[in-house]
Amino acid sequence: MAGPNGGARPGAGRKPKDEKFKQPIAKAEKKIADRLPWLIDQAMELATGVVVQEFDKDGTPRIYQRPPDLGAIKYLADRIMGKPTERKELSGPDGEPLFKAYEASNAFDPDEA
């Protein structure tokens, strides 16, 4: 029950996504876990480069080598080295970090008071 001056009520508000999508997330995690060895093999293939065979409109085969995928290499290295998730900073229109731009726009000016 809310206090005498209002406030949050038990159970009020938007539910966290992990609670809202608990079953679909669990299904997706199980699906990924079941195929993890295969997925790692595919990432390793991309990291080392792959030979690709495509066919032209007239059915002529074209075989070529794709170079190693830098993104796959970085991903595998990060996982094995235990790299934490990256922090990303957003910037405003003038290149300043958004929180600074917000603080500057809401700064108290004693001359205006």
pLDDT at residue 16, as a whole number: 74
CA distance 24 to 22: 6
- Residue 106 has a pLDDT of 47
pLDDT in tens, 76-99: 888 888 887 667 666 666 666 655
Cα separation, 104 vs 96, in Å, equals: 10
The residues of the chain scoring below 50 in pLDDT are: 101-108, 110, 113
Q: What is the pLDDT of residue 3?
A: 56
Q: Give me the pLDDT at residue 104, please.
A: 46
Rounded to a whole number of angstroms, the CA Rg of the chain reads 26
**pTM for this one?**
0.49
